[in-house]
């Protein structure tokens, strides 16, 4: 159960503030209770999450967990998944990002950077799919790490460079 002013990570939205709980809305034959979330990165708008689907949310990691994660970035390896079907590849990585796990999102960032670099070495333009997935993964990582570490996004890369092993 989450409460007002809690910070949660929700699917592809990143860190959100819980602004209301137990908001009742009628859809179909019965009323459902919802959490009302306001994403930190998006200006305006609200996200309504049914309270019976709160397993799609999780608390923001602690500062200690974020510090440990940043220290371990150098040991995170790229995802080895490859397939000739670009749709299958995209689905694989989008599914990983939907899990909202920051470590997994970092793995996706590392993988996409590696694959884009491979394409550039072959003198190809980077795949738009890879750049889209990279952008989404970077937003998720930045959102949670900044919230957990209590820093602003422009400071994040410097923090990572200073503290990773």
**Rounded to the nearest 5 degrees, what angle is found at the Cα of 80, between the Cα atoms of 74 and 86?**
125
Three-class DSSP category at 37: strand
* End-to-end Cα distance, the chain: 36
Cβ 94 vs Cβ 11: under 8 Å: no
Q: H or E element: which one contains 50? A: strand 47-50
Instruction: Give the pLDDT of residue 43.
Output: 66
Q: What is the pTM of this model?
A: 0.88
Query: What order of strands is seen across the sheet that includes strand 30-39?
Result: 47-50, 30-39, 14-27, 7-10, 57-59
Three-class DSSP category at 19: strand
Instruction: Give the pLDDT of residue 115.
Output: 97
| Number of CB atoms found within 10 A of residue 156's CB | 18
pLDDT in tens, 57-91: 999 999 999 999 999 999 999 999 999 999 999 99
């Amino acid at each position: 159960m989450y409460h007002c002013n809690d910070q949660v990570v929700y699917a592809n939205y990143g860190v959100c503030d819980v602004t209301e709980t137990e908001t009742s809305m009628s859809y179909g034959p019965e009323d459902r209770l919802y959490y009302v979330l306001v994403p930190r990165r998006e200006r305006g708008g609200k996200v309504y999450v049914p309270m019976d689907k709160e397993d799609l949310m999780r608390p923001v990691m602690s500062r200690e967990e974020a510090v440990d994660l940043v220290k371990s970035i150098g040991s995170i390896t790229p995802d080895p998944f490859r397939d000739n079907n670009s749709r299958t590849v995209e689905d694989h990585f989008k599914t990983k990002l939907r899990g909202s796990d920051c470590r997994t999102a970092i793995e996706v960032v590392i993988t996409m950077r590696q694959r884009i670099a491979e394409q550039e070495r072959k003198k190809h333009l980077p795949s738009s799919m890879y750049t889209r997935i990279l952008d989404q993964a970077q937003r998720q990582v930045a959102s949670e790490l900044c919230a957990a570490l209590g820093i602003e996004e422009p400071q994040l890369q410097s923090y990572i460079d200073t503290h990773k092993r």
